[in-house]
A = this chain, B = another copy of it.
Amino acid sequence: MHHHFKPSHFFTTLGSHEPVLTIASGDTVSTTTVDAAGRDHTGEQITERGNPQTGPFYIEGAEPGDTLKISLDVLKPNRPTGWSAKILASNVVEPDGVKDLPILSDNERIAIWNVDTDGGTASLELATGKLELPLEPMLGCFGVAPARSQAISTATSGEHGGNMDYRGFRQGATAYFPVFVPGALFCLGDGHALQGDGEIVGTGIEISMDVSFTVQLLKGKRSTWPRGENEDYIFTAGNARPLDQALQHATSEMLSWLCSDYGFDTLTANILMGQAIRYEIGNVFDPAYTVICKMPKRFGNLRLEPQTHP
């Protein structure tokens, strides 16, 4: 079934909020997201800032111990401008270099980018000329309700997903989340027209979006951290500080996944990961950082073939 959902209110925590819609495994939802500051496709601020989320969507039959599969069918900026911060975050430069970062007055802090969805570019007029970058629309913050009755700020992330700010969660990619509460309570928001690795100015090019996603419930499939998949890679996301710990979570989750789903014994998975793994940095700005551990689906003569996926 294909639902068309128009959000009327938003949440800035991922938690056990009243669902806005109940859907079944296999359903597709087309909806919209506001930008990180709560602004919609007209640019009007319709809710408080802080990565407000569309949802939660209640998935029928989802229970703790299941995994939710989300196909990101459409991620399309729906207005002609996005905004970004301009200055590197204090925590991504050498401590002694913080003093040398530019200091801007309040009304200079935000850059307004022209976003040309048809042309596929975001551009900004600078003193030195026009800067034009290719669009790579992505979702910065999405996930499910966490365990233990928590309500966790959409400024941060965890096992339940959240504000991972990973460039790889783009149109065509698939995300997987562990289910912690009945119905999973999936939410999404914080679209970026594009973003550098690490979200090191604290924002991507923030924009409202038209979004379509399809849900599949993987009954009885256990996972611990968010996972994902695209044409070329399977990947796992670890969310924590410091980066070292985020990397540990992502690496352990990949080891576990390769063994449970792809037919590897532990020793073979260890050997293979040593020579074939790729890492990416999602964000190095939010309260929890995000490290991505990627395994190519095809690598030399290797073809990853899921053995147990539904």
| Chain A residues proximal to chain B, CB less than 8 Å | 12-13, 15, 50, 84-104, 111, 121-124, 126-128, 130-134, 148-153, 155, 194-201, 203-205, 240-245, 247-249, 251-252, 255, 263-268, 270-281, 284, 289, 299-302
Given A91-B244, A196-B275, 8 extra CB contacts under 8 A: A87-B267, A94-B252, A100-B266, A123-B300, A128-B263, A131-B301, A133-B302, A195-B275
Residues of B within 8 A of A130 (CB): 301
Copies of this chain present in the complex amount to 4
CB < 8 Å neighbour of A12 from B100, B148, B248: B148
Provide 30 A-B residue pairs closer than 8 Å at the C-beta atoms, listed in order of the A residue.
A12-B148, A13-B151, A88-B273, A89-B95, A90-B94, A91-B244, A93-B252, A94-B248, A94-B249, A94-B252, A98-B99, A102-B267, A121-B300, A124-B271, A128-B263, A128-B265, A131-B268, A133-B302, A148-B153, A152-B152, A196-B273, A196-B275, A197-B279, A198-B247, A200-B277, A201-B270, A241-B241, A243-B247, A247-B284, A281-B281
> Would B280 and A279 count as touching, CB distance under 8 A?
yes
Instruction: Given A99-B98, A279-B280, answer yes or no on A299-B133 (Cβ-Cβ < 8 Å).
Output: yes
Instruction: Given A92-B248, A98-B99, answer yes or no on A278-B197 (Cβ-Cβ < 8 Å).
Output: yes
> Would A13 and B149 count as touching, CB distance under 8 A?
yes
